[in-house]
Amino acid sequence: MNLKNADILSIDQFEKADIAEIFSVAAAMEPYAHREKITRVLEGAILGNIFFEPSTRTRMSFATSFQRLGGAVYEVADLSSTSLVKGESLYDTSRVMENYVDLFVVRHPTQGAVQDFAKATSRPLISGGDGTGEHPTQALLDLYTIMKEQDRSFDQLDGLSIAMVGDLKHGRTVHSLTKLLSLFKNIRFTWIAPEALKMPDSILEEARQLGHHVHQTEDFKMGIAKADVIYMTRLQEERFTSKEEARLHRGRYSLNRRTYEQCCSPKTLILHPLPRDQRANEIDMDLNDHPALGIFRQAANGIPIRMALFAMILDVYPFK
């Protein structure tokens, strides 16, 4: 796949070979990500980093990645700071902003809005999270992290056992990660969620039809036993119509050191796309210094992955 000028909107657009290519470029970006080497290949280019929904990691790591490649970043971190509040459409916003930037990253709370923004512009656009839909670049960095942390080659991902825990209905990261892992063979998905927050049927059916093993349960300890990877997630309280309903589920699943050591092999990797909600304690602070806790290294891996995407989309890799 040639990513030159491509949009990145969904994992559905990728084949397995595309992922191998992105990871290979990401590996080449590592010394630049850590400033062991310097490049200015994107000097003069401007990224429109447009976030209509809160973000710490995704917005900052996209900005850092672009700047590590020598580009400049124009930031919108709040819908209320744009003329959308004066009644301007998303279409007009996209058409106008494209005059000021070379490429967009867009996050929006409404599923489908990122696609609408992309359709309106001739500039390439990377989704930074599309409501309850997908978060494709998070899935890429998650899988890259699993490979690095468990020292697996691309071919050694077949047969991976992963427990995804929490709000699987609204969690766009687990939707994208399921689709991404489904490109491999014989993945063992254990989805641990309350009945009301189960993985959407469309994603479940897709994984089953591709021959993967899917098990759904509300039993946390049973579900995480035998997993190679535990992927905890936050209750997406902002997606609920009623705060009371959301609070019914808050704190339902919490992983601490004792549970981890009781139920899991010491090789089981603990991931979370973050933020972890300290009111709900999805991952207890007593795991902060545990070697199995990969969450901060996972967040750091957003840099080489996002640098790779920028370099491929803006066609500056290999560097001259």
| Contact residues for ligand CP, defined by CB under 6 A | 55-58, 129, 135, 138, 273-275
Residues of 11-46 as b/e, b for ≥16 C-beta within 10 angstroms?
beebeeebbebbbebbebbbebbeeeeebebbeebe
Tell me which of 35, 86, 241, 320 is the catalytic residue: 86
- Told to judge if 259 belongs to the known catalytic residues of this protein, a careful annotator would answer no
| 237-243: Cβ within 8 A, 24+ apart | 237/277, 238/109, 239/132, 239/167, 239/170
- Told to judge if 86 belongs to the known catalytic residues of this protein, a careful annotator would answer yes
Whole-number minimum distance, CB 265 to ligand CP, in Å? 26
- Told to judge if 208 belongs to the known catalytic residues of this protein, a careful annotator would answer no
- Told to judge if 107 belongs to the known catalytic residues of this protein, a careful annotator would answer yes
Whole-number minimum distance, CB 60 to ligand CP, in Å? 8
Whole-number minimum distance, CB 85 to ligand CP, in Å? 22
Distances (CA, A) of 114 to 81, 97, 291, 299: 18, 14, 37, 22
Distances (CA, A) of 317 to 2, 13, 177, 224, 264: 12, 21, 26, 40, 41
Query: Are the C-beta atoms of residues 172 and 58 closer than 8 Å to each other?
Result: no
Tell me which of 59, 108, 135, 249 is the catalytic residue: 135
57 or 226: CB nearest ligand CP: 57
SS3 category, 207: helix
Element housing 225 (H / E): none
Tell me which of 68, 107, 170, 212 is the catalytic residue: 107
The bridge status of strand 213-217 relative to strand 188-192 is parallel
Whole-number minimum distance, CB 113 to ligand CP, in Å? 16
- Told to judge if 58 belongs to the known catalytic residues of this protein, a careful annotator would answer yes
79 or 222: CB nearest ligand CP: 79
58 or 121: CB nearest ligand CP: 58
Whole-number minimum distance, CB 140 to ligand CP, in Å? 12
Query: Are the C-beta atoms of residues 48 and 83 closer than 8 Å to each other?
Result: no
65 or 138: CB nearest ligand CP: 138
Distances (CA, A) of 149 to 142, 160, 296: 10, 13, 12
121 or 137: CB nearest ligand CP: 137
211 or 275: CB nearest ligand CP: 275
CA angle 216, 219, 223 (to 5 degrees): 65
Whole-number minimum distance, CB 180 to ligand CP, in Å? 15
Catalytic residue numbers, as ranges: 57-58, 86, 107, 135
